[in-house]
Amino acid sequence: MAEAAAASALVGAAPAAPRRTCWRRPPAARRVAGLRSRAAAGDGMPTPLEVLRNDVSCLKDLHGELVAAHRSAHDEVVAVLNPIAGEQMTRALEEQIAGMQAELAVAHVQIHRSEGRLRDTVAHLTELENNVRQSFGSGAWTDGPATVASAEAGVAAAAATAAAAEATAAPAAAPTAAPEAVQQQRPRPAAPPAQRAAAQRSGGGRAGLASRGQPGLTIPEQLKDFWFPVEFSASLVEGRMVPFELFGDMWVLFRDESGAAACVKDECAHRACPLSLGSLVDGRLQCPYHGWEYDREGACTKMPSTAFCKGIKVQALPVAEADGLVWVWPGRPEARAEAGPPPLLARPPAGFEVHAELVLDVPVEHGLLLENLLDLAHAPFTHTTTFAKGWPVPDAVRFNAARLLGGSWEPYPIDMEFGPPCMVLSTIGLTSPGKIERGARAASCKNHLHQLHVCLPSSEGRTRLLYRMSLDFLGWTRGLPGIGAFWKSIAEQVLGEDLVLVKGQQDRMARGADVWANPVSYDKLGVRYRRWRNSVASGDPAVRQQAEASLRQMSAGDIFAPTGGQEEEAH
């Protein structure tokens, strides 16, 4: 019945056209009436041509309307009679609905994510508030300086090693790899202040390992009382200014008229313009703004275009040069008198030649980076596309402490040492160029790679990294064109594998995490660094001496009692 009715409608569409033509005539009639009214108004009767034109125009309108009506009727009938066309229309409608539902689902997920982020932010703020309350409300209690770490003096060193070997025999290490994503970790509630204070008083346990949350990311002021190597001597050529950040302040290095290295605050005393944007005039810094000039002591010696004002100066730091490095002293003068000259730590051993010196700025807290460099156990898991590609995971990784902050790794032929306040030195044994052999000791290997890593505390969350690589073989490669860029590329690839992890740790610390919650035996060197740093941060010489003495007494056997795999010295 429905088909018959539809067919009838289809058949009836054509005969209906004339009726609709008549029904639609009024416009044409109106036009004719208009012609007639013109005649009545004395404009004269329409000519036959005008009448003809009028009728043609009317017929055109009618024809267009008829075609449209016919098409519409045709579509309706096809939709009813043709199941395939009907299905297509249904499908199109369903697809439209499905698309809208998918958009709705995406919007839902985004809303839930936003809610989650909001919850985390509120939790973080609450944690921060609690920390602040505990820090200021309970008087003397403060967490130790921060840290996280994993290590890698050996990393870059190892990278360089592998690269060195491959430079002669095999292709260079593979390009950077994306480290695995750091698993999300919920902020832990802070321990009650009384409990932490008790641990601190006990002088043992994890008191010296404090590394929780934001306080652990704060650079202790007491750390300033050291010599810091801030640039390679070879890079500070005459006429060059090197701006750098240290403990949150901006400084500029340059050479004076005699060629001696100098360091002053990178901030003009007139209008605070960075002096490093200016130029050097006869060994004096000239501000680019109004031309004031400063000598190596920071004293203003010239004020063009105005009467000279005496006594204007910017802060200057004591500077020394040793072992191919420029050192500055940012701390108290009285502490410098006690400390003497820069320590003789950084020089490559006899028989080694420097092959690369690099400076990189990295967006992580310097202690976290140091702890990364002081850890070799992560290499087979982290450096899977560079120097540790294909390394098997050892049954056990150990660090055998031969001195307070140094010793040798096992099973890797790597000797490693932390050099206060921010250096990691390592010597890697290579049985053949570029190959690190497991089970050997560095001293028994034929070739060696020596590395210096300096992690300068630029500011909270930023580090200026100085890296120097020396070899006791492959001396001929030093003159190769592009060799510097080659080493830089290798170092950046290795560092890139670590940075993503260390940045992740930093993020979790900022959310309240403790990066030293469960240290194990291969964390020994990193743990020692953290204890050293926290003892310095205490600001109490007695605490520092006690900490150093207790570290000296710890042999490997003393420190690592079998407490379920946990590192004893950390508890």
Interface with ligand FES by CB under 6 A: which residues?
Answer: 268, 270-271, 273, 287, 289-292
550: left (phi over 0), alpha (psi -120 to 50) or beta: alpha
Residue 62 CB: number of other CB atoms within 10 A? 19
273 binds, among Fe ion, ligand FES, none (CB under 5 to 8 A by kind): ligand FES
CB distance 301 to 309 below 8 Å: no
498 binds, among Fe ion, ligand FES, none (CB under 5 to 8 A by kind): Fe ion
152 binds, among ligand FES, Fe ion, none (CB under 5 to 8 A by kind): Fe ion
CB distance 435 to 441 below 8 Å: no
Nearest residue to Fe ion by CB is: 155
d(C-alpha 373, C-alpha 150), whole Å: 6
Find the helix packing angle between 524-537 and 366-373, rounded to 10°.
150
d(C-alpha 275, C-alpha 294), whole Å: 9
Q: Which residue's CB is nearer to ligand FES, number 267 or number 514? A: 267
For the CB of residue 276, give the shortest distance to ligand FES in the complex, in Å: 12
For the CB of residue 309, give the shortest distance to ligand FES in the complex, in Å: 12
For the CB of residue 311, give the shortest distance to ligand FES in the complex, in Å: 16
| Residue 371 binds Fe ion, judged by CB under 5 A | no
For the CB of residue 254, give the shortest distance to ligand FES in the complex, in Å: 16
155 binds, among ligand FES, Fe ion, none (CB under 5 to 8 A by kind): Fe ion
d(C-alpha 499, C-alpha 492), whole Å: 10
For the CB of residue 155, give the shortest distance to Fe ion in the complex, in Å: 3
| Residue 155 binds Fe ion, judged by CB under 5 A | yes
Beta carbons within 8 Å of 492's beta carbon, 6+ residues apart: 176, 360
Q: Which helix (H) or strand (E) holds 402?
A: strand 398-403
For the CB of residue 299, give the shortest distance to ligand FES in the complex, in Å: 14
Q: Which residue's CB is nearer to ligand FES, number 189 or number 304? A: 304
Q: Which residue's CB is nearer to ligand FES, number 292 or number 352? A: 292
268 binds, among Fe ion, ligand FES, none (CB under 5 to 8 A by kind): ligand FES
CB distance 259 to 233 below 8 Å: no
Q: What is each CA distance from 560 to 202, 395, 533, 570, in whole angstroms? A: 19, 17, 21, 9
440 DSSP assignment: -
488 binds, among ligand FES, Fe ion, none (CB under 5 to 8 A by kind): none
| Residue 454 binds Fe ion, judged by CB under 5 A | no
Beta carbons within 8 Å of 100's beta carbon, 6+ residues apart: none
d(C-alpha 216, C-alpha 461), whole Å: 11
The number of angstroms, rounded, from the C-alpha of 360 to the middle of its chain's C-alpha atoms is 13
CB distance 328 to 230 below 8 Å: yes
Q: Which residue's CB is nearer to Fe ion, number 357 or number 498? A: 498
Q: Which residue's CB is nearer to ligand FES, number 243 or number 394? A: 243
Q: Which residue's CB is nearer to ligand FES, number 151 or number 268? A: 268
Q: Which residue's CB is nearer to ligand FES, number 302 or number 488? A: 302
Q: How many helices (H) and strands (E) does the chain have?
A: 13, 17
Show contacts of 558-561: CB within 8 Å, 24+ apart.
559/401, 559/524, 560/521, 560/524
| Residue 523 binds Fe ion, judged by CB under 5 A | no
270 binds, among ligand FES, Fe ion, none (CB under 5 to 8 A by kind): ligand FES
| Residue 152 binds Fe ion, judged by CB under 5 A | yes
Q: Which residue's CB is nearer to ligand FES, number 292 or number 529? A: 292
166 binds, among Fe ion, ligand FES, none (CB under 5 to 8 A by kind): none
Q: Which residue's CB is nearer to Fe ion, number 262 or number 501? A: 501
498, 514, 523, 569: residue in contact with Fe ion (rule CB under 5 A): 498
Residues forming the site for Fe ion (CB under 5 A):
152, 155, 498
